[in-house]
Amino acid sequence: MQTVYLNGQFLPEHEAKVSVFDRGFLFGDSVYEVIPFYQGVGFRMKEHLERLNHSLRAIRIKSDVDWEQVLTQLVAANGGGNLSVYLQITRGNAGRRSHAYDDTMEPTIFACCSEIKDIWQAGADDIKPIKAVVSEDLRWHRCDIKSTCLLPNILVLQQAKDEGADEALLSRDQRLTEGTACNLFLVKRGVLFTPKRSSEILGGITRQLILELADEHGIQYQELDVDYERLLSADEVWVCSSTRGIIPVIEVDGNRIGDGLKGPLWNKMFELFSDYQRQLMAGEHNK
Ligand code: PDD
């Protein structure tokens, strides 16, 4: 049984209760973050908290909680080590169901942990490549907000699974945006490509770090529109997220990508990412 955080208290999970009139439950009126902790240390905490503040501002929820302190304490209460922290902030409980809200509501704040593999310790051979299908992006036009309204993501992911794939890549107006819970990268002739940051995709923390590492290590990259043809003719396709790291995609809609194996640039980026994490553990990138 784990310890969770709810509205200022650290509690055993079965004691944490939220009202049926909470707007997160009734309307999905809430935002979230998922932050990996390795050996008790938050990975890219500053960037995650900046994105959280962006989401909160965008939906006009105000909170003065010291997130870093709460989350670090929560991880410690659950034994430290490698854990992924889920943090959700809802607009709160109005005591009734009403679409309109008033600005004085107290947000509901919930956080819990789940186990995470230390992917970077694991080594490239342990990473299993995946198959994807392309599906229509049914989401709203504010995908830069990390909202808990995830029904479109859930439905297309489930459809992908039913079709024997592991992930769905989303396409809006003939352009690929991202995966159901991950960002998208392609490689063509040694150059890295990823869809531009916009309100149609989530500004992924892993995506940003990949671009920083590419910059630092002389890997050419470009942020641009990716259409279906460009996707299928790529030498490599990857998806990435905080919980899964960087995963090679070797098949899309039944078409083999490149030679159907993990590509050389993926291997290089995986090593750069692993090195970055090892340095983080040694305290070099801590803030
Ligand atoms: N999701 N795009 C979407 C739609 C996502 O939901 C996520 C992450 C990402 C990758 O972002 P990051 O690198 O910051 O994790 C991109 C989390 C992991 C989730 O929903 O569980």
Q: What distance in angstroms lies between residue 241's CA and the mean position of ligand 1's atoms?
A: 5
Q: Report the alpha-carbon distance of residue 134 to residue 169 in Å, rounded.
A: 5
Domains of the chain listed by start with CATH number: 3-115 (3.30.470.10), 124-281 (3.20.10.10)
pLDDT recorded at residue 120? 67
Summary mean pLDDT of the chain: 95
What own/partner pairs with CB < 8 Å and gap ≥ 24 does 7-11 have? 7/108, 7/109, 7/110, 8/109, 10/73, 10/74, 10/77
Q: Which atom of ligand 1 is nearest to the CA of 178?
A: 2
Q: Does 242 contact ligand 1 (Cβ within 6 A)?
A: yes
Ligand 1 within 6 A of 267 CB?
A: no
Count Cα neighbours of 266 within 13 Å in the Cβ-side half-sphere. 29
Coil vs helix vs strand at 211: helix
Percentage of the chain beyond pLDDT 70 is: 98
**Could you tell me the distance, in angstroms and rounded to a whole number, from the CA of residue 96 to the centre of ligand 1?**
32
Choosing from 43, 116, 183 the residue with most ligand 1 atoms within 8 A of its CB, the one to mutate for a pocket test is: 183
**Is 117 annotated in the active site?**
no
Residue 122: pLDDT over 80: no
110 CA to centre of ligand 1 in angstroms: 18
Task: Identify which of 31, 33, 34 to mutate to test ligand 1's pocket (most ligand atoms within 8 A of the CB).
Answer: 34
Ligand 1 centroid–CA 207 distance in Å is 10
Neighbouring residues of 247: CB distance < 8 A, sequence distance ≥ 6: 127, 128, 129, 130, 182, 238, 239, 240
| pTM check: above 0.85 | yes
| Ligand 1 atom nearest 180 alpha carbon | 4
Q: What count of Cα atoms within 13 Å lies in the side-chain half-sphere of residue 55?
A: 27
pLDDT tens readout for residues 127-170: 999 999 999 999 999 999 999 999 999 999 999 999 999 999 99
Q: Any idea what the Cα angle at residue 224 is, between residues 219 and 230, rounded to 5°?
A: 90
Structure tokens at 89: 């902030």
